[in-house]
Structure 1
Amino acid sequence: MSTPVVSHDMHKLKAWLLADAQAAGFADVGITKAKHSAHTTDGLAQFLDDHYEGDMGWLRDTADRRQQPQSMWQDARTAIVLGMNYGPDHDPMGNLDARDKGNISVYARGRDYHEVIKGKLKQLAGRLAAKSGWQVKVFVDTAPLMEKPLGQSAGIGWQGKH
């Protein structure tokens, strides 16, 4: 059983979370309800009805798990959404000037960003759980969770039409 955090401590906990996340290398932190809007769930259904998933059969196979975060974790109440710039410390567009060499996309260079970010998320989540008494779960974009709408709801991103 987790210890409830009283409301006046929530402001302190949020300030701590923002500072700790920034110290861990996260650029953005947003907090939202762990619930997708009807617009989001209807959009997924329409996308699949129109067969826009193409060769991504796994999207259709996991659609029921994508409907709401509680499909991934029944007790989910809040989503803490974090953003991290995993790009290089220089402008990679300069690489395009070397026309005699191949260019590898930034996300494919170095360590797999899923591993880097998941490791940092687990560390941050562990500290949050210890400080708050809450149960936490960590997801990176490989889980059947619609993280883009959660990011938008949390105020740290948007989903374009692409």
Structure 2
Amino acid sequence: MDVQRVTLRKMTPSEYDAATGHREAETARELGKFMPEELAWERARQDTVRFLPDGLDTTGHHLVVAENGSAEVVGNAWIGPDPRQAAATADSAWLYDINVLPAFRRRGYGSAILSAAEELVAREGWTSLGLNVSGDNEAAIALYRRNGYDVESMSLRKSVQHAPGTDNN
């Protein structure tokens, strides 16, 4: 696979709308595994409002598209302060979202976008970049591992059913 390079630039309003729609749909799809679809969509929209109260212009957040050497948009990313740290002490950035457009997948652009995001993080003075990934997203996990990311924590879940005819008393 060729080593790709990309340049990041701020999203336009229409690119932001498209990226937000895609991100909310993916979030709702993931949350829909654990809750009703309507509630999953509501939660996805609430997260956008909570983390991006000023949308594209939310202070401290970088909503960017990645362009290849031919100036084609190949993907996008959302990088901001680590939500697990207090704002006054935040030295870690968070990769809230990364997306390689379907026509450009499996060509090295995921790694290129990660590399460009890491450069942005370093320029901003952050010392690390964290992220979450769904445990069943094997392609994304492989991408992050290839690029030097380590597992920091892990959540596990098992669905259990109440057996009919049993009493909780």
By the TM > 0.5 criterion, same fold? no
Q: Which one has a larger percent strand, Structure 1 or Structure 2?
A: 2
What is the TM-score normalised by the length of structure 1?
Answer: 0.29
Q: Which one has a larger percent helix, Structure 1 or Structure 2?
A: 1
What is the TM-score normalised by the length of structure 2?
Answer: 0.28
**Which structure has more RCO (C-alpha within 8 Å, separation ≥ 6)?**
1
